[in-house]
């Protein structure tokens, strides 16, 4: 299954209407790890990392199946229009693009960030996905 791509503008209204964090909105179920790439238009590093993220998604989906979900949240950006990129950075508490986040849902339904990085180092991310999947499975095995 390919990486799910969302434009930040599509989720921004829901964030404000529901008063939730971006991870609470994206991390939907217990028992799975969510790998989120936060990217921006006209970002050379984001474009360079996109195929690496896709390849990592395919590899981890093959290994962990439905226990891992990959999402890319993309922000619009131009010289004239920087508002959406700034809103995205603020919402995800990031200092740069791309940013990679791994999160899970605890047994009370809250999202927990287990990893964050500004560079996609595949071997490091793979280890952190494995750990997140194990923790997510533990939470899923617990009653609410």
State phi, psi for 39 to the nearest 5 degrees: -125, 170
Q: What is the C-alpha to C-alpha distance for residues 53 and 113, in angstroms, rounded to an integer?
A: 18
| pLDDT above 90 for 78 | no
Residue 47, pLDDT score? 95
| pLDDT above 70 for 52 | yes
Q: How confident is the model at residue 70 (pLDDT cuts 50, 70, 90)?
A: very high
CA dihedral 82→35→12→2, nearest 10 degrees, is 90
Sequence length of the chain is 144
* Mode of pairing for the β-strands spanning 68-75 and 33-40: parallel
Please tell me the pTM assigned to this model. Answer: 0.93
Q: 14-18, 21-25, 56-60: which has the minimum mean pLDDT?
A: 14-18
Domains of the chain: 4-139 (3.40.30.10)
Residue 2, pLDDT score? 82
| pLDDT above 70 for 110 | yes
| pLDDT above 80 for 143 | no
Residue 144, pLDDT score? 62
């Amino acid at each position: 299954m390919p990486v799910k791509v969302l434009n930040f503008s599509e989720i921004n209204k829901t964030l404000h209407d529901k008063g939730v964090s971006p991870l609470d909105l994206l991390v939907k179920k217990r028992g799975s790890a969510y790998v989120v790439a936060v990217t921006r238009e006209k970002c050379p590093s984001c474009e360079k990392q996109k195929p690496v993220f896709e390849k990592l998604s395919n590899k981890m989906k093959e290994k962990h199946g439905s226990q891992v979900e990959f999402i890319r949240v993309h922000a619009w950006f131009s010289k004239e229009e920087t508002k959406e990129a700034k809103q995205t950075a603020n919402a995800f508490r990031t200092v740069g693009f791309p940013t990679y986040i791994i999160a899970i849902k605890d047994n009370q339904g809250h999202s927990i960030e287990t990893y964050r990085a500004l560079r996609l180092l595949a071997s490091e991310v793979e280890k952190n996905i494995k750990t997140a999947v194990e923790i997510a499975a533990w939470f899923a095995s617990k009653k609410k």
